Each structure stands twice: as structure tokens, then as C-alpha cells.
Amino acid sequence: MKLNIGVIFGGNSTEHEISIISAVQAINNMDKDKYNVIPIYLSKDSKLYYSEDYKKVENFKNLSSAMKMGTEVLLTKKNGELVLIKDSFPFKVIKNIDVIFPILHGYNTEDGTIAGYLEMLGVPYCESDIYASAIGQDKILQKMVLKESGVRVCEYRYFYESDYLKDQEKVLANVMELPFPLIIKPARQGSSVGIGVAHNKEELIAKIEEALEYDEKILVEEVVVDLKELNISVLGDNSSYELSDIEEVYGKDEILSYQDKYMSGAKGASKGMASTGRKIPADIDKNIQKEMEDMALKAAKALNISGVVRIDFMLDKKSNKLYLNELNIIPGSLAFYLWKSKNVEYKELLDRVINIGIKKFQNKNKKLSSFETNVLESFNGTKGVKK
Ligand SMILES: Nc1ncnc2c1ncn2[C@@H]1O[C@H](COP(=O)(O)OP(=O)(O)O)[C@@H](O)[C@H]1O
Ligand SMILES: [Mg+2]
């Protein structure tokens, strides 16, 4: 019997469109003999829509017509089964779903929001859990956990908008303990949105103000000037992780911009992350490769990631020092292009990620999550528990 896989994508994130590209790519690569794939589009205003026409990226050129094309649905449980119900009278079940495959990027989605929603529903899903997802999204929390786990990260400072409004000079003085040039990032965005480089105090203020338009939590870190950007993908769960090839990615600007990441293909954005300028395998020394693999595995364990993720590194070509830059819990294009030379075709990669999601659900269900006794049976209102 075929499994019904619901692929959720879109969402209220600056990476909404990138998620559509990643999801449509994945939908069209899932094994049709094993799975019925059900596309579920999450609009920017958090409504769910279903349509078989969502299997084509052209149908998303205009987002409001994409919504009109679909049926507005609710994702809920009925008689213990996960179902899509038409969100208007007569509220008919239109699809049964066995497993959810979230392919969403960024804040409000990939950051544990969707994982939490799916945990609430009590269904198997193919993504890391809430904790890994949240830490994966917050570039500051991520650095704290990684540093504690013995993974090298750039020197950094962070602050909140409230600190900045209260005492701008104090915040600037703290940040300027680090040497220029500095890179300023909204803590929980992605795709280089709101990121800028500053070479002096004036630019620093301007870039902070730009970053504050996207997030109230700001990260400032030292710039790796002589930079080589290297990425690796990790597949598995805490019982065993596999490592992909390493890629080197190139950008035209000082930092790899949104343009570089998604718009560099001849046909615009339709190829997603798979269209960035890259070299696979990267041209690096064996010892750098080994160090990167060790750091990737340490990070994977520390966060307890599961499924397929991409971990991005920065190599300082002068000092030969390697830094972990960030984790992508649901990577663009699911990083499928990094697995090809490992003889893992996209179809197989998707199969493996689906199986990891099912196994995670089964293992979780074996653990106790409540006690048989109910303390509320003897609860005596505001007087507390009767002895
Ligand atoms: N410390 C740094 N030094 C030099 N370049 C950096 C640094 N941090 C980020 N960058 C550049 O900015 C890009 C985006 O930063 P990143 O932290 O990966 O954010 P995003 O989540 O938006 O991808 C990186 O791909 C890299 O090109
Ligand atoms: Mg990045």
C-alpha cells in the first residue's frame, strides 16, 4: 500500500518563494510507486490550501491566483487519523495523510513552529524536532550551543532592540570591542536577508538599523576576510549520521547574497539553491575536510538533528582556520545535489528522510509521556490537593 505524504510548504517567512521551489522539486522527485504525494500550500497569511496543480512551480507565479486554484483546507485529526478537511460546509474529508514532510524555510516555519504544530497533532514528520529547529534558526543560541560543544565559531556580540534604544553608545562600544570589518545579521532570518557589512562606526549604525527592520535580536560578528565558503550535508539521526560531499560556493558580492543564492540560474529562481555557483567536491586539503566533518558531526549530535540538513562553514584562507557559520535544518533544495556523488539519488534521499521521520515517531511513542494516575482526581479547587 502506498503511503500518503503531505508536503507542507510556503509559510509566513521571507523565504516563502524559496520554499515553494524546494517543495515542488521534492514533490516531483518522490517515488510514485511508494507514495501518493499531497501538496499542501501554507499561504503568507497562514491558511492551508490543497491542489494537485501545486506540483508545478509555474502555478505560483502569482500567489493570489495560486490560492484561488486550491481548496482551502484544515489539517486535523479525525477518528485518530490525520486528514485534510475542506474548510467550508460540508467540511468533507478530502485526503487522508500518513506522514507530513515539511519543506519550509525560515522564521515562523523552519524554526520549530511547524515541528511544534505537528507534535501537537501527534503525527510523524520528516524534519528535526522542535529543539533542533529553534536553535537552528537562532544564529545566537546556535553559536552558544556550538561553542559549548567544542565547535569553532566566529567571535561575536549580540543585543536586543530594547538595549539599543535604551543606550545606543553602550551597545556600539560593546560591539566595537571586535575589530572592523564587522558583519551585522538579524538573528533569526535566512537567505542573507537584512545582512550587511560595516567598515566603520557610521556604517555599523546604518547596518544595525537595517537589520532591526527584520528582527529585534541582532548578531554582530567578525568578518572572515579571506573567505572560502564550504558546505556539507548531514543525513540521519542520533543513532547514525552520514556525511555528504563538501561543496565550495561562490558569490559575486562581499557576502553571498539572496541574488547569488537563488537568482543566478539563467532561468531566474526556478532552480533554487541548486543553481548557486559551486564546486563539488571542494578543492580543500584532507585535514580541512577531516576537521569540517568532525565539526559537522559534533554539531549534529549537539542539536540532535534528524533528516537531512546542511551545515555551512567558513574557511579563513590566510590562517587556515575553519569556522562553523550556520545550520540549515531544512536546507534549500534539501541539499540533494550534495549527495549525488555519494550515489544517493534525490529519490533515495527522500526515501531515507521519510523513513527517519517515521522511525523518530515510533521511538517517541515508545516513551512515557504521561502517568496513569491523575492528580486532578483528588484536586480540591483552590484549596489544593486533599491528603
Ligand atoms: N563572519 C563572516 N565573515 C564573512 N562573511 C560572512 C560572515 N558571516 C556571513 N558571511 C557571508 O554572508 C552570507 C550569509 O550569512 P549567513 O550567516 O549564512 O546567513 P543566512 O542565514 O542568511 O544564509 C554567508 O553565506 C557569507 O557569504
Ligand atoms: Mg547561510
Quick: pLDDT tens for 184-197.
Answer: 999 998 677 789 99
Lookup: cell for 266: 539563467
- pLDDT at residue 20 is higher than 70: yes
- Please identify, by atom number, the ligand 1 atom nearest to the C-alpha of residue 255: 27
Q: Which ligand is nearest to the CA of 185?
A: 1
Q: Which atom of ligand 1 is nearest to the CA of 224?
A: 3
Question: From its phi and psi, is residue 183 left (phi > 0), alpha (psi between -120 and 50) or beta?
Answer: beta
The predicted pLDDT at position 261 comes to 63
Instruction: Map residue 108 onto helix, strand or coil.
Output: coil
Q: How confident is the model at residue 270 (pLDDT cuts 50, 70, 90)?
A: very low
pLDDT in the model for residue 21:
95
How do strand 3-10 and strand 35-42 relate by DSSP bridges? parallel
> Residue 303: is its pLDDT beyond 50?
yes
Say if ligand 1 is within 6 A of residue 227 CB.
yes
Q: Are strands 156-160 and 48-50 parallel, antiparallel or unpaired?
A: unpaired
User: 154: Cβ below 6 Å to ligand 1?
Assistant: yes
CA angle 371, 111, 368 (to 5 degrees): 15
Distance (Å, rounded) from C-alpha 295 to C-alpha 82? 38
Residue 384 pLDDT: 66
For residues 321-343, average pLDDT: 95
In this prediction, residue 385 carries a pLDDT of: 59
What does the pLDDT read at residue 269?
39
**CA–CA distance, 305 with 236 (Å, rounded to integer):** 8
- C-alpha 376 – ligand 2 centre gap (Å): 48
CA distance 18 to 102: 13
pLDDT at 117: 96
Ligand 2 centre distance from Cα of residue 231 (Å):
9
Structure confidence at residue 268 as a pLDDT band (50, 70, 90): very low
Ligand 1 atom index nearest CA of 223: 3
Query: Mean pLDDT, to the nearest integer, of 295-321?
Result: 97
- Could you tell me which residues come within 8 angstroms of residue 340 by beta carbon, excluding any fewer than 6 positions away? none
Cell, residue 122? 501527534
Q: Do 128 and 305 form a contact (C-beta atoms < 8 A)?
A: yes
221 lines ligand 1 (CB under 6 A): yes
pLDDT score for 14: 84
In whole angstroms, give the CA distance from residue 25 to residue 40. Answer: 14
- Spell out the alpha helix ranges (H) of the chain: 16-29, 63-69, 113-121, 130-137, 139-148, 161-166, 168-175, 201-211, 258-262, 286-303, 346-366
Binding site membership of 255 for ligand 1 (Cβ less than 6 Å)? yes
Does 254 have pLDDT greater than 60?
A: no
Cell numbers representing residue 193 in the block: 536577508
**Please, which pLDDT band fits residue 255 given cuts at 50, 70 and 90?**
low
Ligand 1 proximity of 153 Cβ (cutoff 6 Å): no
pLDDT reading at 28 higher than 70: yes
Helix (H) or strand (E) holding 107: none
Strand partners, 221: 156, 183
Q: What is the mean pLDDT of residues 11-20?
A: 92
22 — phi, psi (to 5°)? Answer: -60, -45
Model pLDDT for residues 45-92, shown as the tens digit of each residue: 999 999 999 999 999 999 999 999 999 999 999 999 999 999 988 889
Quote the CA–CA distance of 133 and 114 in Å, as a whole number: 9
Mean pLDDT of the chain: 91
229 CA to middle of ligand 1, Å?
Answer: 9
Task: Specify whether the CB–CB gap between 28 and 55 falls below 8 A.
Answer: yes
Note the pLDDT tens digit of each residue in 337-354: 999 989 999 999 999 999
Weakest mean pLDDT among 42-46, 145-149, 334-338, 373-377:
373-377
Percent of the chain with pLDDT over 70: 90
CA distance linking residue 47 with residue 8, whole number of Å: 11
Between 265 and 293, the higher pLDDT residue? 293
Residues in Cβ contact with 236 at an 8 Å cutoff, skipping those fewer than 6 apart: 242, 300, 306, 356
Q: pLDDT (tens digit, 9 = 90+) per residue, 91-122?
A: 899 999 999 999 999 889 999 999 999 999 99
> How much is the pLDDT for 377?
74
Please count the helices (runs of H) and the strands (runs of E) in the chain: 11, 16
Cα-to-centroid distance, 192 and ligand 1 (Å): 7
Give all strands of the β-sheet with 3-10 in edge-to-edge order.
Answer: 93-97, 81-86, 71-78, 48-50, 35-42, 3-10, 99-103
The protein residue whose alpha carbon is closest to atom 14 in ligand 1 is: 192
Instruction: Give the residue, by CA position, lying nearest to ligand 1 atom 1.
Output: 223
Ligand 1 pocket member 271 (CB < 6 A)? no
What is residue 266's predicted lDDT score, i.e. its pLDDT? 38
Q: How much distance in Å is there from the Cα of 264 to the middle of ligand 2?
A: 16
In the 3-class helix/strand/coil scheme, how is 311-374 assigned residue by residue?
EEEEEECCCCEEEEEEEECCCHHHHHHHCHHHCCCHHHHHHHHHHHHHHHHHHHHHCCCCCCCC
pLDDT in tens, 357-384: 999 999 988 887 766 666 677 777 767 6
What is the C-alpha to C-alpha distance for residues 328 and 384, in angstroms, rounded to an integer?
46
- Distance (Å, whole) CA 21 – CA 56: 9
- Centre of ligand 1 to C-alpha 171, Å, is 22
Alpha carbon of 100 to ligand 1 centroid (Å) = 31
- In the chain, the domains with their CATH numbers are 3-125 (3.40.50.20), 136-140+143-151+225-361 (3.30.470.20), 155-222 (3.30.1490.20)
* Threshold 0.95, pTM exceeds: no
